[in-house]
Amino acid sequence: MKEIKLLLFLLLCLSTLNISGQETPWTGKSLDLSHGKLRISDNKRFLEFEDGTPFFWLGDTAWELFHRLSKDDVELYLENRRAKGFTVIQAVILAELQGLDVPNAEGNLPLKGYDPTQINEAYFEHVDWVINRAAEKGMFIGLVPTWGDKVDKRHGVGPEIFDVDNARAYGEIIGERYKDFSNIIYLMGADRLVTDETQPIYEAMAEGVKSRDKNHLMTFHPNGAHSSSQWFHNAEWLDFNMVQTSHAQRSYACYIRWLIPDYERTPIKPVLDGEPRYEHFPVGWDYQTFGWFDDADVRQAAYQSVFSGSFGHTYGCHDIWQMHAPAHKPTRWARHYWYDDLDLPGAWDMLHFRRLLESRPFLDRIPFQQIVKNEYMAETEYNVATRGDDYLMVYLAAGKEVRLDLSLLGWREGKAWWFDCKSGEITAIGSMEMDGIKSFKPATRLRGNDWVLVIDNEARNFDPPGTVSLIP
Q: Where are the domains of the chain?
A: 33-358, 366-460
CA 269/CA 265 separation, integer angstroms: 8
Bond from prior residue into 464 cis (ω within 30 degrees of 0) = no
State pLDDT tens for residues 334-391: 999 999 999 999 999 999 999 999 999 999 999 999 999 998 777 778 899 999 999 9
Question: Which pTM does this prediction carry?
Answer: 0.93
- Say if CB 303 and CB 452 are below 8 A apart: yes
For residue 404, the cross-strand partners are 372, 438
DSSP helix, strand, coil percent of the chain (3-state; round to 5): 30, 25, 45
pLDDT of residue 3 exceeding 50, the answer is no
Which CATH number does 366-460 carry?
2.60.40
In angstroms, the Cα distances linking 331 to 58, 317, 319, 337, 365 are 25, 13, 9, 12, 39
As a whole number of angstroms, the distance between CA 310 and CA 69 comes to 31
Q: Name which CATH class applies to 33-358.
A: alpha beta
Q: What is the mean pLDDT of the chain?
A: 92
* pLDDT tens-digit map of 291-322: 899 999 999 999 999 999 999 999 999 999 99
Alpha helix stretches (DSSP H) within 228-340: 229-232, 253-254, 260-263, 287-290, 295-307, 318-321
Angstrom distance (rounded) from CA 358 to CA 33: 17
Given a contact cutoff of 8 angstroms between Cβ atoms, the answer to whether 83 and 389 are in contact is: no
Indicate whether 200 pLDDT > 90: yes
Q: Give residue 446's pLDDT band: very low, low, confident or very high (50, 70, 90).
A: low
pLDDT at 332: 85
